[in-house]
């Protein structure tokens, strides 16, 4: 295989769309609920899953094209044909500290290179495991070394001591609900996140077919989506954001250049992934996440619960490149306003998957 050294080489060799980074600066608090019974409201995630983000964008697109009822169907049909007009990652945190911008990415769900060093004893490997066991996000420089199979031991103290929550403030606010029949009130609590100045969420977007959606329209959609808000509790003013679209910087291009290197033998997801079939699926290490909940629609006030699906989480690793589908999750309860979908088409990056040489006991 020809060795490719630049991002321009990669775009010439592989079928790639136009990739850019979108930063979301929140003008209010945000609630990103968990699909865990009992604590879905009391806590809030620090990432927006790609299916949540996709729903936000498509609803905004539908509002902009409210005079053309076929516009949304035309866009979504393209996803079903296996040629998605655009792909998005999940939205992860970024922070700015003393003009130093840091993007965070999901921790790869495979061991870092030292785990495969047969000269390290089991006890030392356990200590390494403890140091990053609860880490969910890693800075882009460590992520780049990790997926390239390079040593990151010197960064372990940084990972262990990093405080992801230091660039935001978490809050739990009491809310009340009133029973319509008995007029009895009950108290519940909602977890909210307030990002500090210079911090927020970002995601990657890759436009593949600009005849259906170009950058000008995409930015219009982002503006509308920002006014509507992202996540839950939007009726309380949460999730409102300003969006900025930027070209890929050198940090990002280095990640995608690895697509052309023959010694990168696996792929890591930056989005939720729902395969069309499990036949031929070659997972290396993964985590499953249930996706369910109420739908939000900009064209009908009817509320209904979508069908539940289980997807591969961000950071999951596969031998073969994941493609994914747009899943129809319209419930069988007579909801006919329109189809409901879950976005399961990931943006993925190549990763060096190393072989285990010594058991961890």
pLDDT tens string 327-340: 998 888 777 777 88
pLDDT at 260: 60
Q: How confident is the model over 104-139, as pLDDT tens digits? A: 999 999 887 777 777 777 777 777 777 777 788 999
Q: How confident is the model over 277-291, as pLDDT tens digits? A: 888 888 999 999 999
Per-residue confidence at 360, pLDDT binned at 50, 70, 90?
Answer: very low
Per-residue confidence at 191, pLDDT binned at 50, 70, 90?
Answer: confident
Q: How confident is the model over 130-154, as pLDDT tens digits? A: 777 778 899 999 999 899 888 877 7
pLDDT at 235: 82
Q: How confident is the model over 248-307, as pLDDT tens digits? A: 888 888 888 766 667 788 999 999 999 988 888 889 999 999 998 877 776 777 778 888
pTM of the shown model: 0.88
Of 1, 206, 255, residue with least CA distance to 83: 206
Do residues 291 and 34 make contact, with C-beta atoms less than 8 angstroms apart? no
Say which range, 154-168, 235-249, 337-351, has the weakest mean pLDDT: 154-168
pLDDT greater at residue 243 or residue 176:
243
Per-residue confidence at 1, pLDDT binned at 50, 70, 90?
Answer: very low
Q: What are phi and psi of 246, to 5 degrees?
A: -130, 155
pLDDT at 314: 96
Interhelix angle for 215-228 vs 50-64, to 10°? Answer: 100
Per-residue confidence at 38, pLDDT binned at 50, 70, 90?
Answer: low
Sign of CA dihedral 263, 12, 269, 170: positive
pLDDT at 143: 92
CB under 8 A, 24+ apart: contacts of 154-159: 156/128, 156/131, 156/132, 157/131, 159/131, 159/132, 159/135
Of 341, 343, 342, 333, residue with least CA distance to 303: 333
Enter the tokens of residue 158: 């940084």
Residue 17 clears pLDDT 50, i.e. is over it = yes
Do residues 357 and 114 make contact, with C-beta atoms less than 8 angstroms apart? no
Per-residue confidence at 4, pLDDT binned at 50, 70, 90?
Answer: low
Do residues 296 and 340 make contact, with C-beta atoms less than 8 angstroms apart? no
Contacts of 359 (CB under 8 A, 6+ apart): 122
Distance CA 189, CA 233 (A): 12
pLDDT at 332: 84
């Amino acid at each position: 295989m020809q060795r490719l050294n630049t991002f321009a080489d990669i775009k010439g060799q592989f079928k790639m769309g136009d990739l850019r980074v979108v930063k979301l600066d929140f003008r209010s608090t945000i609630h990103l609920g968990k699909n865990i019974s009992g604590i879905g409201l009391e806590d809030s995630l620090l990432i927006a899953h790609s299916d949540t983000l996709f729903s936000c964008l498509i609803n905004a697109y539908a509002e902009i094209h409210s005079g053309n009822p076929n516009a949304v169907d035309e866009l979504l049909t393209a996803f079903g044909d296996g040629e998605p007009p655009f792909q998005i990652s999940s939205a992860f945190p970024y922070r700015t500290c003393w003009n130093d911008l840091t993007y965070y990415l999901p921790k790869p769900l495979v061991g870092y290179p030292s785990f495969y060093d047969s000269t390290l004893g089991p006890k030392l490997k356990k200590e390494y495991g403890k140091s990053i066991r609860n880490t969910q996000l890693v800075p882009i420089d460590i992520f780049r070394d990790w997926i390239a199979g390079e040593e990151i031991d010197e960064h372990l103290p940084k990972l262990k001591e990093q405080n992801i929550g230091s660039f935001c403030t978490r809050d739990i606010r009491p809310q009340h609900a009133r029973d319509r029949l008995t007029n009895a009130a009950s108290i519940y609590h909602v977890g909210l996140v307030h990002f500090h100045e210079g911090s927020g969420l970002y995601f990657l977007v890759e436009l593949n077919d600009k005849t259906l959606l170009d950058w000008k329209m995409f930015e219009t959609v982002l503006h509308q989506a920002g006014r509507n808000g992202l996540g839950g509790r939007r009726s309380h003013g949460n999730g409102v954001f300003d969006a900025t679209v930027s070209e890929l910087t050198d940090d990002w291009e280095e990640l995608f250049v690895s697509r052309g290197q023959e010694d990168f033998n696996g792929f890591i997801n930056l989005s939720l992934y729902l395969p069309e079939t499990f036949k031929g699926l070659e997972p290396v290490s993964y985590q499953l996440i249930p996706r369910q909940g109420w739908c939000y629609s900009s064209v009908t006030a009817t509320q209904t619960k979508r069908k539940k699906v289980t997807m591969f989480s961000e950071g999951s690793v596969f031998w073969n490149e994941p493609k994914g589908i747009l899943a129809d999750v319209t419930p069988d309860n007579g909801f006919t306003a329109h189809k409901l979908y879950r976005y399961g088409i990931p943006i993925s990056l190549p990763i060096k998957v190393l072989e285990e040489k010594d058991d961890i006991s």
